[in-house]
Structures are given as C-alpha cells and as structure tokens.
Chains A and B, each alone.
Chain A
Amino acid sequence: MHRISVTTLLLLTITACLQAQTGTGESDIARVADTVTHNTRHAISVLPLSLDLHIGYEHSQINSSAFTSAILLNYTPQDWVKTNIGFRVSTHSMYSFAARGDFNWRPGNKRSCLTLRNQYNYNIYGASNFQDLNISLAAAYDHPYFYIAAGGYARMFTNIKPPRGSRRTTIWEPGLVYDIEGRIFPKQHVWNIGLQITNMRLFVIERFYAPNFILKGNYRINGYADEHLNLQVQTGFQPAGLMHIAVNYYTFFLNVGITCAI
C-alpha cells in the first residue's frame, strides 16, 4: 500500500511538472516516457567497447567435424557508427579475419534505423592452400523486431602459395549479400529468440545461393537492455543445391558466446 502511494505520488509530481513546463497532458507524458526508453536504448548501443567470445562446432559433408573459437572487439564511438574487428580459428586450419562498420541514420521514428553496412572478410584455408578476400556493402533496415539487409560483394580467390612451377592465378567473383532476421521480442528484451536467413555470417560471406538458416537466442544477465553481459547461442544449417532446386545437407553448426563490456 505504502509503495503504491509513493509511486502514485511520484507520478502525480512528474505529471504536474510536465504540465507546468509545457502545458500539455497525458500524451506528452507518454512521449517523454518513450524518449526515456529510447535514451536507455541509445545508452546500450553506445557502450564504447565490448568483447565477444565464441566457441563452436561445425560439421560439413566435405570437412567432417571441426571446432572453432572466435574473438570480436566491438567499438561504438557514437550512436551513428558501430565497428568491430575479429579473428576466428578452426581445427581444420582455417583462419578468418573480419572487420565491419555500420553507419546508422535514425530518421523520425528512432525505434528503427537505416544502416549502411560495410564488411571485410579474409579467410585462409590453410590445409587447402586457398585464400579468399571478400568486400561487401549492404543497405539495412534495423527494427526492434526484425533486420533486413541487402547488397553486393566482390570476392577474390587465390592460392596462398602459387603451385610449384606455376604463377599465381586470381579469380574475382561478384555476388549478392542478404541478411534477414526476425525475433519474438524487441531486441532489448532480457531474452530473445530469432530466426535468420543470410549468406553473411560473422567471419564468412558465403556465395549468395548457399544461405544459412539460423536459430538464435540470447539472455542478458543484468536484465532488460543491458549489454554488459549477454549470453548468446546459435545453431543452424546450410544446404547445398538450394538454387539447383535439389537440396542436400551440407553443413550444421552450433555456436555459444558471450558479449561483455570492457
């Protein structure tokens, strides 16, 4: 009873202050409350430095089983720019480097934003004397419940060392990127589950006709909208032959990770 009374009193005080300052009523209170929420959201997104640590398991038709571990450093100096850089290693002697910059613009309704996403991926297939560099640029729409990105990439294949008695050969390949994700709660929610279809994974941009189907979840240990400790898990598969219209299992993967503020 006492608590309710205090809360009611506080609300009445705030209401009175707002009315006194702006001469407006209940709708403005709601708007102010919404702004507070958004400021909280912005406070999440501008955590300047955080670290992602991941471990994973992958199985593929050709490569059988592999274990992976990855580290990713996120740097968000301003709300309008987010960057990250990371490294992943797999027990199949595959080494991946990734760098990404997201440039955000929040027109009008600040719940969503338009993003220009620029991603660089470099993969070394150590056991296969093969390396690929991928540069992609995509436009994205980021909403609390979903994320859609589409764009293009340019990829370069070449051997790590040219074969004996042969000069280096390089192949350039263009392609499309896409990333579609939906979730059951707004992304600031304490826990969430989402579905994602994409050829843009963190460390590998796959050819556009080989999408990954991903089920993902997360849990914020410190509660709503707090990014200081965020547990993540994702599992997915990648079929071969989707655009052959003759699918066949190709890859299964499972990753667990944590994001922690530095």
Chain B
Amino acid sequence: MALASCDKYDISGFFHSSSDTVNKRFSQSLEIDSSNADTPVAMDSNNYSVYVISDLHIKTTAKNLAQLIDIAATDPDAGFVAVLGDITDQKGGHYIAYDTINEHRPGTLPLYATVGNHDLYFGQWTSYKKLFGASAYYRTVQTPDTADLFVFLDSGNGTLGHDQYRWLASLLENHRPSYRHCIVATHTNFFDVDLGQMPTGSFTLEETAMLTSLFTRHNVTMVINGHDHHHETARFGTTLYITAGPAMDKNPDSGYSVLHIGDNITCSHHLFQ
C-alpha cells in the first residue's frame, strides 16, 4: 500500500518540488508561448461552448478524456477543450494523454491545458512542457461581433508566484477592457467551503485576498478550476467561481463541465457514461 502510494505521490514534494519552481515555469511558459498568443480562435457565432475537464489522474487509460473529445468534436458550437491539470500522477501518463488527444481530436478543435500539482510530481514538468507546452498564457476567441479573453494560470504549487501575478495584473489592466468576457482557468480552487477533498490545499489567505480582488477590480466574469474533486459554484464580488469535478477513469462521480458562452455565461456539469 505504501509502495503504491509512493508511485502516486511524490513524497519529496513535501520538502522540495521535483519540478521547476513556479517562477521558472512561468518564465519558460512565456518563452514557449511567445508566438501563439496572437492567434485567436475564430467562431461563426457570438454563442459558443467551451468543454472543461480536470483531474484525470491518468494511470494506464484515458477513456474519459477520449469521450470528452469525441463529444466536443461533434458539437458545432465547440470553441475549444480546456484541461485544467492533474492530467496524471505517474511518469508516462502525459504520453497516454497526448496520444489519446491526437487519436481523437479533429485538427480544427483547439485544446488548451495547464498543470496541476500532480503533473509536477517526479519531475514531470519536463514531459508536460514537451507535450503540452506552456502552463501560463492567454487565448482569445473572436466571434462575429465581439471577442472573449481566456487566461490560463499555473497554480500547481498553490501560488502563482511573483512573476506570474505581476503578468496577470498587467494583462488584465491592459487587455481586459477590450473583451466581452474574461475567463480565468487554473487548477487550484480559491475557496474551500465544504472541506471537499480534505486535506487538499488551495491558496494562502493573502493570495486569495489579492487574486479575488484583482478579478473583481477587472471584472473577470468567471474563474474555473479543478483540484477539489467536487463540483461547486460560488460567487464572490462580481466573479463566478466554478470548481469542475474530477474525471478519473472508473470513478462513478467523474464528469466534465460545459461553459455556454453568449452575452451571459452558464455552466452545466455532466457525468461520463
């Protein structure tokens, strides 16, 4: 049992993360993504959908990921698929996810990911970076009459770190007013109202205060995250906080969320079959 746990949990992470620090990952993300940010996702309608999946914890199979991509691929309104971290716990899991995505995803459907804490275990930032690219970046969706801003944040260590926080503040200050909606997607949850997956962690109190304040000040429409393995909705200030449920294979509670984006945004949660 202890040995099995050691395959899943990188115990050294209690003392020192085996992947790069959040500031280093952010610096690498800026470099990796330098040429991608200016290419918007073009939609034919002002109303579209975003498919969100999180906490897959892939071991040997990625059936739920495959199922989600198949569902999104048949939806003509699908803008993109977002994967909010904890893709895997184990070395090799990122490759299983990557192969599954390539096998199922039609070339026209974008997929954007960010890291969760489990993606950093056993030095897996290296494989994440190689297969999925940056963990902190933004994308825009251009519709006939408007445009929306999506910001992906790296919260795998339970903090954005100094550099990413400054970048986020500057991005919202300079770009947010040009967009209809601003949606922030990350792994770590901001509130823990039910001790859902005790004893998991979220941000420190100070960082919660500063980030939620930043989101309210810049009228961030929605924050969506995973991590807690429990679907939950909360409103704080002007921002709606959605926690997506888990998506592990062989888990009866596994599901995905769909953001229905128009002049307003609604979120629906669905269980995998």
B208's nearest neighbour on chain A, judged by CB, is A157
User: Residue-by-residue, is A231-258 near B (CB-CB < 8 Å gives 1, otherwise 0)?
Assistant: 0000000101111111111110000000
Q: Could you tell me the distance in whole angstroms from the C-beta of B103 to the nearest C-beta in chain A?
A: 29
User: Count the A residues whose beta carbon is within 8 Å of the partner chain — how many?
Assistant: 43
Contact residues in A for B121 (Cβ distance below 8 Å): 245-246
Residues facing A in B169-215 (CB within 8 A) are 188, 191-193, 195, 199-210, 212-213
Partner of B159, one of A62, A166, A243: A62
Alpha-carbon separation in the docked complex, A251 to B162 (Å): 11
User: Given that A244-B156, A245-B10 are contacting pairs, would A209 and B205 also be in contact in the complex, using a CB cutoff of 8 Å?
Assistant: no
B210 contacts A248, C-beta separation under 8 Å: no
Could you tell me the distance between the alpha carbons of A117 and B205 in the complex, rounded to whole angstroms? Answer: 22
B202: chain A residues at CB < 8 Å are 207, 209
Contact B9 A245 (CB under 8 A): yes
| Chain A residues within 8 Å of B117, by CB | 241, 244-246
Closest chain-A Cβ to B199's Cβ sits at a distance in Å of 5
B212 to A130, Cβ gap below 8 A? yes
Q: In angstroms, how far is the closest chain A Cβ from the Cβ of B133?
A: 20
Q: Report, as a range, how many residues of chain B touch the other chain.
A: 35 or more
Q: Report how far A61 CA is from B158 CA in the complex, Å.
A: 11
Determine whether the beta carbon of B213 is less than 8 Å from that of A128.
Answer: yes
Known pairs A166-B237, A245-B117; A175 contacts B195 (CB<8 A): yes
A206 CB–B CB distance under 8 Å: yes
A240 and B234 form a contact (CB under 8 A) = no
Chain B CB within 8 A of A174 CB: yes
Inter-subunit contact B237/A64 (CB<8 Å):
no
Across the interface, do B191 and A163 meet the contact criterion of CB distance under 8 Å?
no
Q: Do residues B17 and A248 form an inter-chain contact, with CB atoms below 8 A?
A: yes
Q: Contact: A62 with B206, CB < 8 Å? A: yes
B237 CB to closest chain A CB (Å) equals 5
Q: Which of A62, A163, A172, A249 contacts B165 (CB 8 A)?
A: A62
Is there a chain B Cβ closer than 8 Å to A159's Cβ? Answer: yes
Measured CB to CB, the closest approach of chain B to A237, in angstroms, equals 12
Complex Cα spacing A135 to B236, Å: 21
Closest to A64 in B: B162
Q: How far is the CA of A247 from the CA of B161 in the complex (A)?
A: 12
Q: How far is the CA of A62 from the CA of B164 in the complex (A)?
A: 9
Contact call A243/B213, Cβ cutoff below 8 A: no
Looking across the interface, which residue of chain A has its beta carbon closest to that of B159? A240
Contacts of B192 in A (CB 8 A): 173, 175, 207
Bound together, the chains give a CA A79 to CA B201 distance in angstroms of 38
Q: How far is the CA of A22 from the CA of B267 in the complex (A)?
A: 81
B19 touches A246 (CB 8 A): yes
**At the interface, yes or no: B120 with Cβ under 8 Å from chain A?**
yes
By a CB distance below 8 angstroms, the chain A residues around B160 are 61-62
B21 beta carbon closer than 8 Å to chain A: yes
- A residues sitting closer than 8 Å to B (CB atoms) are 60-64, 123, 125, 127-130, 132, 157, 159, 162-163, 165-166, 169, 171-175, 204, 206-210, 238, 240-251
* Contacts A132-B205, A171-B193 supplied; 4 other A-B pairs, CB < 8 Å: A204-B205, A209-B199, A241-B201, A246-B120
Q: Lowest 3 CB-CB distances: which A-B pairs, in order?
A: A243-B201, A241-B158, A209-B201
